[in-house]
């Protein structure tokens, strides 16, 4: 079947599959962008249960309501198992459901440790402690990437000098057309 004759539903399915794979690829690269992609995909009104289950499974590894996402993944895989008819499909979905149950148990343990960690603290104290952790992480990142920022600053200065030397106004959105009014 050529792309020109492919149904709209089939094209959407392929796009969802591609976005599903991209989110998982980002996660496997250690990039939190995969979680963001999963959240966005879950907002799609025509997203089917299979890809929704996959995205909930992925989000079970995030810090954003992982227990909820694990429960949703298990629920959706269970519903899918009850809808399919072939043994291969059932076996495949059962494997996914088993993984979701394992990851849900892990998320529940992480959540219990977090509750224990913050026990006895007020909401404001928790926010302040989390902000201090975030700032420490930011400082560490900045120290590790200080050389990158210096190179970026040098590049930007060079670009500004180049623009001035060519009689063009400085600016990020300079079109590059000299005295054309564009």
Q: With left for phi above 0 and alpha for psi between -120 and 50, is residue 5 left, alpha or beta?
A: alpha
Helices and strands in the chain, H and E counts: 7, 0
| All residues at 6 or more sequence positions from 112 whose CB lies less than 8 Å from its CB, including other chains | none
| All residues at 6 or more sequence positions from 49 whose CB lies less than 8 Å from its CB, including other chains | 76, 79, 80
**Amino acid 182: pLDDT:** 44
**Amino acid 162: pLDDT:** 59
Mean pLDDT by 10 residues, the chain (182 residues): 57 94 95 95 95 97 95 98 95 97 97 89 88 88 75 71 52 41 44
Measured distance CA(166)–CA(146) in Å, rounded = 31
**Amino acid 171: pLDDT:** 45
8-28 and 33-42 helices, crossing angle to 10°: 150
In the numeric block, which tokens belong to residue 107?
């998320």
**Amino acid 2: pLDDT:** 44
């Amino acid at each position: 079947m050529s792309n020109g004759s492919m149904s709209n539903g089939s094209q959407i399915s392929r796009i969802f599959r591609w976005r599903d794979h991209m989110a998982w690829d980002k996660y496997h690269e250690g990039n939190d962008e995969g979680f963001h992609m999963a959240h966005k995909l879950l907002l799609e009104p025509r997203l089917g249960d299979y890809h929704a289950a996959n995205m909930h499974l992925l989000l079970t590894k995030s810090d954003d309501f992982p227990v909820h996402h694990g429960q949703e993944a298990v629920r959706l895989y269970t519903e899918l198992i009850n809808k399919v008819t072939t043994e291969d499909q059932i076996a495949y979905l059962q494997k996914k459901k088993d993984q979701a149950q394992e990851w849900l148990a892990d998320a529940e343990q992480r959540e219990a440790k977090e509750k224990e960690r913050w026990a006895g603290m007020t909401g404001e104290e928790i926010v302040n402690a989390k902000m201090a952790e975030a700032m420490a992480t930011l400082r560490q990142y900045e120290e590790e990437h200080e050389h990158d920022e210096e190179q970026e600053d040098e590049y930007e200065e060079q670009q500004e000098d180049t623009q001035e030397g060519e009689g063009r106004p400085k600016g990020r959105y300079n079109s590059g057309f000299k005295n054309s009014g564009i």
